[in-house]
A = this chain, B = another copy of it.
Amino acid sequence: MRIGWIGTGVMGASMAGHLLDAGYELSVHNRTRARADALVERGARWADTPAAAAEGADLVGLMVGVPADVAAVALGPDGVIGGLAAGSTLVDFTTSDPALAVELSEAGTSRGVGVLDAPVSGGDVGARAGTLSIMVGGEAAVFERARPVLEVVGGTIVHQGAAGSGQHTKLVNQILIAGTMVGLCEALLYARGAGLDPTTVLESVGGGAAASWSLANLAPRIVADDLGPGFLVDHFVKDLGLALDHAARMGLQLPSLALANDLYVSLAAEGGGRNGTQALIIELARRSGFSWP
């Protein structure tokens, strides 16, 4: 089985590497060619365009940056859809716009190409370990034929429904994280304001009803003044904007999501976009006239 792969950033390179390890014949394309060198050295074939990576492939995986990148790589001149044969499959692993996922699916279907939206969570650690959670939207038959490839790069692989459902599920994931992160940063500010030792506080609150992945993994980094990524603020801003946009289309007022979006957009505007999401504490401290640390 031949696979094309577009996008060899931190996540994409790990995922494509697992496909090579599993014995798939791989063509790779990336905007910056040098970032694909390591894969080419391990046996992947370089392709000059997305369409060239798709040519002769049974399945193409995308892992690029933002929805505009997905649209360009998939639908643009020299795009993947133009290079794929009928009966093949396009899997977009990028966290992107559910509406674009529907558009890609329709464009594929009209040419006999099956399309899945399949955003992931688990970060670079999950990508390296091959344990990503993959949230899949698209036709069930297409999902079944792509499943062996998905199982090479992911651990928890769930078909969520029709085209766009994978993206919507990923946005649900981000809404959950947003609420938890704002509460977490406010709680740490309160602890400091009350004169508590934050590490001692975490001993008391870490194991019960306040427990979360963010509390276990990001609170200690905040306390240690480590605000690096992890998950980039700039990427989170993209996701929260998509979620807000679609919530509005559904007639939903989601005030916590709106608050998180406002805070993260401000943080990015103040130059914090390349930090990890836990840097939110800087923005919350600033709004009260304090600095952190």
Contact = CB atoms under 8 A, between A and B. Distances in A.
Interface of A: 98, 121-123, 126, 133, 135, 156, 158-161, 164-165, 168-169, 171-184, 186-191, 193-197, 200-201, 203-205, 207-215, 217, 231, 243, 246-247, 250-257, 259-260, 263, 284, 287-290
Contacts of A160: 196-197, 200-201, 204
Given A158-B200, A211-B213, A214-B209, A194 B176 contact: no
Contact of A184 (B165, B176, B186, B260): B176
A161 B195 contact: yes
Contact of A122 (B123, B208, B284): B208
Nearest to A178: B183
A207 to B, nearest CB: 6
Contacts of A260: 183, 256
A200 to B, nearest CB: 6
A247 B188 CA distance: 12
A173 B254 contact: no
B259 A255 contact: yes
Contacts of A203: 156, 158
B194 A98 contact: yes
Given A161-B196, A203-B158, A211-B212, A186 B190 contact: no
13 contacts: A160-B196, A160-B197, A169-B201, A173-B205, A175-B190, A177-B183, A179-B182, A179-B186, A186-B255, A193-B246, A194-B246, A209-B217, A252-B288
